[in-house]
Amino acid sequence: MLDIINKAAATHELAREEIVRLLRDTDFMPELLAAADRVRKHYKGDEVHLRGLIEFSNRCKQNCLYCGLRRDNQNIERYRLEPDEIIELARKAKDYGYKTVVLQSGEDDYYTVDRMCYIIRKIKELDVAITISAGEKNQAEYRAYKEAGADRYLLRIETTDEQLYHRLDPGMSFANRIRCLQDLKSLGYEVGTGCMVGLPGQTVESLAEDILFFKQIDADMIGIGPFIPNQDTPLGEARGGAFELSLKVMAITRLLLPDINIPATTAMESLHPNGRMIALQSGANVVMPNVTEGEYRRLYALYPGKICINDTPGHCRACITGKIQAIGRKVSGSYGFRHN
């Protein structure tokens, strides 16, 4: 097992069977996480990039079985922010010191290309990097966002197991998801994707395929988090994903893609009180504190137990900075592109 870990750290290559062995192993997890942390330090240094997250709409036309924002969920109070409200939150994020804002929403057709491009252009005037996470669009829409100033796009594959994908995402097409990622890459975006760990019906073999897929498409950002059941979804009674397995998937991803950006996801901390700091010490180098204000933080209810829903953006910024410094790391002052 140590030979596999050392091979991954030295060559950044593993066969599917070797990844499966690492994911199944219970004895050498400390060595795996330590190797991922060393690779992170070598390639990315000790700076942690903060991205200010703006959750601008919890309306979604899709009906994914695991997601609290799913179209058929009648137990959620819906909201959407007007363009100028989003721009104002971005302005405040800049004032808090964020060099990147992440605009995240459900798939909400209210935000036409014109509205989105207006938002992007105005935020770009603030001299920040912009990441969009708003689902599947056609190539022309992605191109328009890019020309307006968007730098990155986050579209998680969630699982590369096609049968599982179609079971969990009714009415959606795995092939179209892949097409979106290819379009984004061809348009010059920094492309983010990722997976959920512990989905019902998911195997360690399929998680190994997920990691190899990330390497195959040469993704620039990978978000990995545990599946957390939401009682207002069809998977409400399902067993949730494990924190430890999520950490292992993240660590192996770091070993195989040594220079990418990997966030310590909020879902990690929903399962473990120090989840994000542990992730930062196991290969991650990004944190995305929420800069959405007021009631909207609570209403963007992807899953239960979401952290920091009662905090202010200012408190979150100070809190995460203190935690990062406490583990001997520092907040970056750069935009945090993969290749600076």
pLDDT tens per residue, range 177-223? 999 999 999 999 999 999 999 999 999 999 999 999 999 999 999 99
User: Is residue 340 included in any domain, yes or no?
Assistant: no
User: Is residue 190 included in any domain, yes or no?
Assistant: yes
Phi, psi torsion values for 270, nearest 5 degrees: -70, -20
Say which residues have a Cβ less than 8 Å from residue 88's Cβ, sequence separation at least 6: none
Per DSSP, the three-state class of 114 is helix
d(CA 148, CA 138): 16
Start-to-end CA span in the chain (Å)? 34
Please check if 316 is assigned to a binding site.
no
Q: Is the pLDDT at 273 greater than 90, yes or no? A: yes
Q: CA–CA distance from 96 to each of 176, 209, 263, 308, 326 (Å)?
A: 37, 39, 19, 17, 20
Residue 310: pLDDT band by 50, 70, 90 thresholds?
Answer: confident
Q: Which pLDDT value is given to residue 134?
A: 98
CB atoms within 10 A of CB 201: 12
User: Is residue 338 included in any domain, yes or no?
Assistant: no
User: Is residue 61 included in any domain, yes or no?
Assistant: yes
Q: Which pLDDT value is given to residue 332?
A: 98
d(CA 333, CA 129): 12
Q: What is the CATH number of the domain that holds 158?
A: 3.20.20.70
Range of the domain at 318: 2-331
Under 8 Å between Cβ of 255 and 305 = no
Please check if 177 is assigned to a binding site.
yes
User: Is residue 249 included in any domain, yes or no?
Assistant: yes
Tens-place pLDDT, residues 48-86: 999 999 999 999 999 999 999 999 999 999 999 999 999
User: Is residue 282 included in any domain, yes or no?
Assistant: yes
If one counts the domains in the chain, the total is 1
Tens-place pLDDT, residues 115-168: 999 999 999 999 999 999 999 999 999 999 999 999 999 999 999 999 999 999
Quote the tokens at residue 45.
């240094």
User: Is residue 142 included in any domain, yes or no?
Assistant: yes
User: Is residue 216 included in any domain, yes or no?
Assistant: yes
* Verdict on whether the full-model pTM lies above 0.95: yes
pLDDT mean over 261-272: 95
